[in-house]
Amino acid sequence: MGWKTLDDMDLDGKVVLTRVDINVPVEAGRVTDTTRIERIRPTIDDILAAGGKPVLLAHFGRPKGQPNPDMSLRIVQPALEKVLGRDVTFVDRPDRAAIDAAPGVVLVENTRFSPMEEDNDPRMAQVLAALGDVYCNDAFSAAHRAHASTEGVAHLLPSCAGRLMAEELGALDKALGSPARPVVAVVGGAKVSTKLDLLSNLIEKVDMLVIGGGMANTFLAAQGMDVGKSLCEHDLAETAREILAKAETTGCQILLPTDVIVAREFKAGADSETVAADACPADAMILDAGPDSVTAIARAFYQARTLIWNGPLGAFEIAPFDAATNAAAQRAADLTREGRLISVAGGGDTVAALNKAGAADGFTYISTAGGAFLEWMEGKTLPGVAALGG
C-alpha cells in the first residue's frame, strides 16, 4: 500500500488537519450515539502525543452549501470533549491565527456550509491547506467522496491515513486485496439492481458467493422457480442468468437457498412454514432462507479462511424471519473467535443485523463506512484513499 500513516510523519510542533467523521445522531440538541467519536480518539491522542495540534475537519448533515445553525458542529463539541477527556476549541470559520492561538484540539465549523466543499473547488482546498502543516484523513466513511476536505487538500500538504482509516484499509486488504483462501462472500438485501457492480466484482475475486434476502428470489425466479408474491425483480432475470454464467467461467461457486421460509403476511409472529425453494405457494412470500440452506452456509464458512459480508439473508427486522441471518452470523463469529476465519462485514443493514444477532463482537472487523465500504467491495477507486497515494 502506498499511503503513509501517522508513524511516517514528523508531527512535532505541526498543525495537523484531521478529516474525521463525526456525523453522529442528534436528538433535541444532544448527541445520542458517540461511537463515531470514540473511533477517532486514537488518532487524536497519537497526534497530541507526537507534539502535534489536531484541527478537526468534518461535515454534519446535509446543509447543501449554506450555513444552517441546526447543522453546526457546535452541537457535537460537548460530546467530543467528553469522549476525548479534554477541552476542544470551536472555530467558526477557517482562520490560521485563531487556530495557532487555540490550545490543544480545535474543531472547525461544518465544511459543507460552503458549496465549494462538495464541488471540490481548488480555492477551498487552498484555504484549508493554509490552516495546517500536515493532512491526516481518518474518515474512511467519506473516502468515496471527492470533496475539498477529503481529496483536494490531500494534494497540497504532506498526507497520511489516521489510525481508523489505516485499520479499515488494512482489514479490507486482508479481505479482498491479499486474502487467505478460500474466500466466501455473503451478499444479501432487497434488490439485485442496487448490487450489480458488487456481484460482478466479487465473482472475479471470491471462491464462493452466498446470495440471500430478496436478491435470492430474483435468482430463483431466473432459474424458472415460482416465487409467489415474494419481493422479486422479474425484469432482471436475464441479468441474473448472466451473473450465474459468469460465475461458472470464473470458478466462483454460487450458493442460493435450497429451502425457504414462507408466509402470507409480513408481520411479527406471522404463521410461516418451511418449503423447498421451488415450492413456494402462489399466495405466499419468501421471507428467509430455510434451515438446510443455513447448514450449507455454515459448512461454507467452516471451509473458508476469509469471509466478507454485506446484507442480511432474510427479513431480519422481524422474527421469525431473522433466523437464517442470526444463525449464520453466530457461526461466523464462532469460527472467527476460534481463529479459523478472518471475517469483515459492512453496510448499514449488515451492521444492524449482526448487532441484532449478537454476533458483531465476534467478527474480525465491522466497517461502519456504508457507501465507501460498498464502493470498495465493487472494486471502485476511492478518491479520498487515492489522494493519500494508495
Active site residues: 36, 191, 348, 371
Kindly give, in sequence order, each residue whose CB lies less than 8 Å from that of residue 55, ignoring residues fewer than 6 positions away: 15, 16, 17, 18, 99, 106, 108, 131, 132
Q: Which phi and psi angles does 200 have, rounded to 5°?
A: -60, -40
Q: Which of 205, 283, 222 is nearest to 197 (CA)?
A: 205
Q: Which phi and psi angles does 210 have, rounded to 5°?
A: -95, 120
Other CB atoms within a 10 A radius of the CB of residue 229 amount to 16
Cell 490531500 belongs to which residue?
Answer: 154
Going 219 to 225 to 231 to 232, the CA torsion angle's sign is positive
With 0-12 CB in 10 A as exposed, 13-18 as middle and 19+ as buried, what is 12? Answer: exposed
Collapsing DSSP to helix, strand or coil, 179 comes out as coil
C-alpha–C-alpha distance, residues 279 and 275, integer Å = 6
Q: Strands across the sheet with 272-276, in order?
A: 272-276, 259-263, 285-289
Q: 212 with 312: CB under 8 angstroms?
A: yes
With 0-12 CB in 10 A as exposed, 13-18 as middle and 19+ as buried, what is 328? Answer: buried
C-alpha–C-alpha distance, residues 317 and 139, integer Å = 29
C-alpha–C-alpha distance, residues 186 and 332, integer Å = 11
C-alpha–C-alpha distance, residues 118 and 238, integer Å = 37
Q: 230 with 280: CB under 8 angstroms?
A: yes
